[in-house]
């Protein structure tokens, strides 16, 4: 035998076994005054009358006295220790009581509905894909419908009234509902349809439902609300179902699932086609941030210290579905990246580059092998970053773009500075300036989602409108590159320049020290690549001559002979 409801296990058994409800504790924490009808015998009803209205503590003492009086008490009561649930801000054990509540059917008690909602989830692309299992596991573990009513002061009211009978008792089985066109209504302020306000709380009149809706019951309508449902059907028909829901992985079971439930019930559809699930932000000790733990960070302080672009860079470095630590050093890197972008842009634009330097036919002005190599790498990065974004892997897109950017500034720009400042009428100068302008134009678009303010600032220096309204860069814009464009030329020439600079550093001389000669040893393919960019390499390394030797290993620079410098 069990007594409904001694604890939450009893609640589960009562629901699963569909037992009759025999609750005796009221919402005031006392034994109910009315004797339940299922207490049938005269003696039992007399005994219950001695318990009616008592607190739980007093009722337990009274039961002991009744058992002792009847001779049914076996021994004397003893105190025991066992786990019980307590109210989080009180010192009294919780008592499970019955009450009338509102529910939405969510498949918890309907296998067909449950299977249908699982199928709805399979119509949504989860990013990352493994997060779909959390959605399905939640549905498969449901054992009851979705309780959507709450006994709170603030919230969206349940728009329902009840008639009162001649004794002033509510007729709960016959709720009064508003017409759809009259919504929204507040039953605490608006009279029920067909009644005057004077009939409120009067026998033969009405009362309003006192409950408000659960948070998820209203936020689950986010797509419908922003789409203009029931307000602008033309707009709603164009935008619903939406494309993407970004949210945390910890509320898949609440916000995501409840939104799917509502869209299935109201529109017979999924609410959106994609769901992007982010992780938590952890403190430096890898613990979840929360106000109760006191380990949260005030966003405005971080923004003032590092800037919005730096904070966004750090946030975008975290992959979907993965928790990430609050990392100040990563924000510092983002700030340095934004500053470097500004400085590199100034270098390019100070060469006289304008909006006319890019666009249709611009690639045709690029003739130098090193410049073509840069654009070949840009084409690859654009393709890869686009593919990453299409998979909602923005962290990968940022990584690819940033890596190419540092190659652009640390390798390419250093190699071509001499040629870039040449005669604007010279074909070699036109080639490098076009390559610089084309690359800057694409980089600003690629970085725009991550460094929105720095990219917008640079864009305004030489382009019309906003970078955020400009088209995403496409590899098609570089389709005119000749087949001879070799992405490896820039890589090999940069390695050779690094070898020359390393030799100067080891010799403890300044980088501007002239090199008489040096030997570059590399596989034949790399030797040819270095030869293709030799003129820029000699200028950047301040070298008079380089000799080449074929080898099987990695590219290396040796036998560096430096020109003697006069004593200062």
CATH for 341-478, options being 1.10.730.10, 3.40.50.20, 1.10.10.10, 1.20.1250.20 = 1.10.730.10
Is 489 exposed, middle or buried, given 0-12, 13-18 or 19+ CB atoms closer than 10 A? buried
Q: Please name every residue paired with 543 in a beta bridge, in sequence order, or none if there are none.
A: 515
Nearest to 445 by CA among 462, 470, 463: 470
Domain ranges of the chain: 1-98, 341-478, 488-562
What is the predicted pLDDT for the residue at 566? 65
How confident is residue 567, by pLDDT bands cut at 50, 70 and 90? low
pLDDT (average), residues 256-275: 97
Strands 515-522 and 546-550: parallel
CA angle 15, 18, 21 (to 5 degrees): 80
Residue 481, pLDDT > 90, answer no
User: For 6-28, what is each residue's pLDDT tens digit?
Assistant: 777 888 888 788 888 888 888 88
What is the predicted pLDDT for the residue at 424? 76
Nearest to 255 by CA among 228, 223, 287: 223
Question: Across the chain, what does the average pLDDT equal?
Answer: 92
* Shared fold status for 341-478 and 488-562: no
Residue 4, pLDDT > 70, answer no
Both tokens assigned to 258:
């409840």
Beta-carbon contacts of 379 under 8 Å, excluding residues fewer than 6 positions away, are 475, 478, 481
What is the predicted pLDDT for the residue at 507? 94
What is the predicted pLDDT for the residue at 476? 81
How confident is residue 354, by pLDDT bands cut at 50, 70 and 90? confident
How confident is residue 568, by pLDDT bands cut at 50, 70 and 90? low
pTM above 0.85, yes or no: no
DSSP assigned state of 253? I
pLDDT (average), residues 441-460: 97
pLDDT (average), residues 56-82: 91
pLDDT (average), residues 151-162: 93
Q: What proportion of the chain, given as a percentage, has pLDDT over 70? A: 99
What is the predicted pLDDT for the residue at 378? 96
What is the predicted pLDDT for the residue at 82? 82
pLDDT (average), residues 210-237: 95
How confident is residue 321, by pLDDT bands cut at 50, 70 and 90? very high
User: For 45-61, what is each residue's pLDDT tens digit?
Assistant: 999 999 999 998 899 99
Q: What DSSP element (H or E) covers 376?
A: helix 369-390
In CATH, what is the architecture of 488-562? Answer: 2-Layer Sandwich (3.30)
* CA 530 – CA 432 distance, rounded (Å): 17
Residue 383 to residues 82, 337, 408, 445, Cα–Cα distance (Å): 63, 22, 17, 13
**Comparison of pLDDT for 85 and 430, the residue scoring more:** 430
């Amino acid at each position: 035998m069990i007594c409904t409801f001694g604890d939450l296990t009893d609640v589960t058994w009562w629901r699963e076994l569909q037992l009759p409800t025999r609750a005796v504790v009221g919402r005031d924490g006392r034994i109910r005054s009315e004797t339940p009808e299922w207490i049938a015998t005269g003696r039992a009803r007399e005994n219950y009358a001695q318990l009616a209205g008592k607190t739980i503590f007093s009722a337990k003492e009274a039961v002991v006295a009744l058992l002792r009086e009847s001779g049914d008490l076996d021994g004397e009561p003893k105190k025991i220790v066992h786990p019980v649930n307590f109210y989080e801000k009180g010192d009294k054990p919780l008592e499970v009581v019955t009450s009338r509540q509102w529910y939405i059917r969510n498949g918890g008690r309907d296998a067909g509905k449950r299977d249908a909602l699982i199928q709805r989830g399979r119509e949504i692309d989860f990013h990352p894909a493994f997060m779909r299992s959390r959605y399905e596991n939640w549905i498969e573990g449901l054992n009851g419908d979705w309780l959507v009513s709450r006994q709170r002061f603030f919230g969206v009211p349940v728009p329902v009234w009840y008639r009162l009978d001649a004794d002033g008792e509510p007729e709960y089985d016959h709720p009064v509902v508003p017409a759809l066109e009259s919504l929204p209504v507040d039953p605490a302020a608006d009279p029920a349809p067909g009644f005057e306000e004077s009939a409120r709380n009067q026998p033969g009149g009405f009362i309003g439902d006192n409950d408000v809706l659960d948070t998820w019951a209203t936020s689950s309508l986010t797509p419908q609300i922003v789409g203009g449902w029931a307000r602008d059907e033309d707009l709603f028909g164009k935008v619903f179902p939406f494309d993407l829901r970004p949210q945390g992985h910890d509320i898949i079971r609440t916000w995501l699932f409840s939104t799917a439930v509502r869209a299935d019930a109201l529109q017979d559809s999924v609410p959106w086609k994609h769901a992007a699930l982010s992780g938590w932000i952890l403190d430096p000790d890898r613990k979840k941030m929360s106000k109760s733990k006191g380990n949260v960070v005030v966003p405005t302080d971080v923004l003032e210290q590092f800037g919005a672009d730096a904070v966004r860079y750090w946030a975008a470095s975290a992959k979907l579905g993965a928790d990430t630590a609050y990392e100040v050093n990563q924000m510092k890197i983002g700030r340095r990246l934004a500053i470097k972008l500004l400085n590199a842009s100034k270098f390019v634009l100070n060469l006289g580059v304008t909006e006319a330097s890019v666009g249709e036919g611009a690639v045709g002005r690029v003739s130098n092998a090193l410049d073509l190599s840069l654009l070949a790498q840009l084409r690859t990065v654009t393709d890869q970053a686009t593919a990453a974004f299409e998979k909602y892997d923005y962290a990968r897109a940022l990584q690819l773009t940033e890596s190419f950017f540092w190659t652009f500034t640390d390798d390419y720009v250093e190699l071509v500075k001499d040629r870039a400042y040449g005669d604007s009428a010279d074909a070699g100068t036109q080639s490098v300036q076009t390559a610089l302008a084309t690359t800057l134009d694409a980089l600003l678009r690629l970085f725009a989602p991550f460094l929105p303010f720095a990219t917008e600032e640079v864009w305004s220096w030489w382009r019309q409108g906003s970078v955020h309204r400009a088209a995403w860069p496409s590899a098609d814009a570089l389709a005119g590159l000749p087949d001879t464009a070799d992405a490896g030329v820039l890589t090999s020439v940069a390695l050779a320049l690094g070898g020359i600079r390393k030799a100067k550093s080891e010799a403890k001389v300044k980088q501007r020290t002239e090199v008489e000669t040096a030997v570059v040893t590399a596989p034949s393919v790399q030797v040819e690549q270095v030869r293709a960019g030799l003129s820029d390499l000699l200028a950047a390394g301040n070298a008079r001559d380089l000799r080449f030797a074929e080898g099987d290993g990695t590219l290396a620079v040796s036998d560096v002979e430096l020109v003697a410098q006069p004593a200062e």
